[in-house]
Amino acid sequence: MKERVRVLVVDDSALMRKLIPMILERDPDIEVVGTAMDGSFALRKIAELQPDIVTLDLEMPRMDGLETLRMIMRGAPLPVIVFSTHSKEGAYSTFKALALGAIDFVAKPRNAAAGNLEPVALQLAEKIKVAKRAGGRKSIPKPVLEAPPSSNKRSRPAIPPNRVIAIGISTGGPNALQYLLTQFPADFPATFVVVQHMPEGFTDMFARRLDECCALDVHEAKSGDLLIAGRVLICPGNRHMMVRRMPRGEMVVLSDTPPINGHRPSADVLFHSVAQEFGLTSVGIIMTGMGEDGAEGIGAIKAAGGMTIAQSEETCVVAGMPRAAMMKGFVQKVVPLDTLGAHLISQYGSDRSGSDKQDSSEKSDKGEKVPVPTPRA
């Protein structure tokens, strides 16, 4: 018989401590072994019950969620999923929790206080099971640029990029993206367009945090934002993002078309548009995350003559997305997170125009064999 995932639910609301176990135990693979009303109780329950996973509220009396998380990670770390308030303040605390070691988060619905958790029930259960398979937090190297120059990023000249680098990323993405983007100098001549699976209302705060810690110009994308060198555009939650060549320049366009593969935003949507519009000068990168979003789209980039890269499995929090693309044969190069920035700088860090042909080292990458991972249940 398959062993169930043992979960401890930590929340200061008596209603949530009743409802969260109810929605989780609909899944036959999950067993809620206990609940706790604050961090102090949670630490005692962890020692007593030895759960596999903890779901953690951040706003609690006595010992709040962030301090609880610090204590968990100092002792015997185990996977923690933040079940966060859907608000600006909740988003800020959630990103702090991810930096402290939480493996993922789920935003509570705005009407959760009225007892409505149905919109996120399946999502929470699935993330708990993925977290159990992923095990404890995999360490992310510390960013090398702790305090970037506070120059006026928005006043930089709008130079066309030499490459359009599209990134698809999900679970484990906030820390991985922060580490990656801090590797680049302000004058990096490519542009980045990023789909991070994240709910509406969180991506603006996420982009602001990235902008504060790296030399590149990072912000949440708006329709009509130009693709320029040194810029990073993060797709807003609950929107799709595409790229287009328009009379006034190369830009992003947002849409509200239906979810693809259960996702909006979807990396597949972005990758397909990048392949169609930029072909030889496109780069697709698929990074840590659960599921298969982005696999088909990165195949389109490869077919269009662009370069395709996957984050190495051992450096992913969850390797589902890179593995799916690799198994389809669409990945030309596998690179660990700690060397991914250096690789991109070495390939695209000169001031060549986007019309240049790919260099010889890229061409040789296309010929190298990428190991195909063994399928997992």
Which structural domain range is residue 274 located in?
Answer: 153-367
35 and 181 within one domain? no
Q: Dump strand ranges (E) for the chain.
A: 5-10, 30-36, 53-56, 80-84, 104-107, 164-169, 191-196, 217-220, 231-234, 240-246, 249-255, 282-286, 307-311, 333-335
Nearest in space to 55 (alpha carbons), one of 76, 28, 34, 29: 34
Q: Are residue 41 and residue 159 in the same domain, yes or no?
A: no
Contacts for 127 with CB less than 8 Å, ≥ 6 apart: 81, 104, 106, 171, 290
**Within-domain flag for 146:** no
Instruction: Read off the pLDDT of residues 276-321 as tens digits, 9 standing for 90 and up.
Output: 999 999 999 999 999 999 999 999 999 999 999 999 999 999 999 9
pLDDT per position as a tens digit, 126-177: 999 988 887 655 555 655 544 455 556 667 788 999 999 999 999 999 999 9
Q: Is residue 143 a part of any domain in this protein? A: no
11 catalytic residue (yes or no): no
- 180 and 98, same structural domain? no
Q: Which pLDDT belongs to residue 59?
A: 87
- At 93, list the tokens: 């605390």
Are 58 and 85 in contact, with CB atoms under 8 Å apart?
A: yes
Q: Are residues 211 and 323 in the same domain?
A: yes
In a domain, 374, yes or no: no
Active-site residue, from 12, 268, 293, 365:
293
CATH of residue 94's domain is 3.40.50.2300
The strand ranges marked E within 28-147 are: 30-36, 53-56, 80-84, 104-107
Structure tokens at 301: 């980039």
Residue 359, judged by CB atoms within 10 A of its CB (0-12, 13-18, 19+), counts as middle
The reply to whether 234 and 329 lie within a common domain is yes
**Is there a single domain that holds both residue 228 and residue 312?**
yes
Amino acid at 215: A
Q: Is residue 128 located within the same domain as residue 160?
A: no
Q: Residue 140: inside a domain, yes or no? A: no
Q: What is the CATH number of the domain that holds 313?
A: 3.40.50.180
259 shares a domain with 117:
no
In a 3-state reduction of DSSP, which class is residue 364? helix
Which residue in 86, 197, 219, 272 is the catalytic one? 197
Cβ atoms of 180 and 145 within 8 Å: the answer is: no
Number of domains in the chain: 2
pLDDT tens per residue across span 65-107: 999 999 999 987 899 999 987 666 778 889 999 989 899 999 8
Q: Which residue has the tokens 């609940």?
A: 35
Mind giving me the DSSP string for 248-291? TEEEEEEE-PPPBTTBSS-HHHHHHHHHHHHGGGEEEEE-S-SS
Q: Which of the following is catalytic: 170, 266, 273, 282? A: 170
- Judge whether 272 counts as a catalytic residue: no
pTM attached to this predicted model: 0.87
Q: Would you call 170 a catalytic residue per the annotation?
A: yes
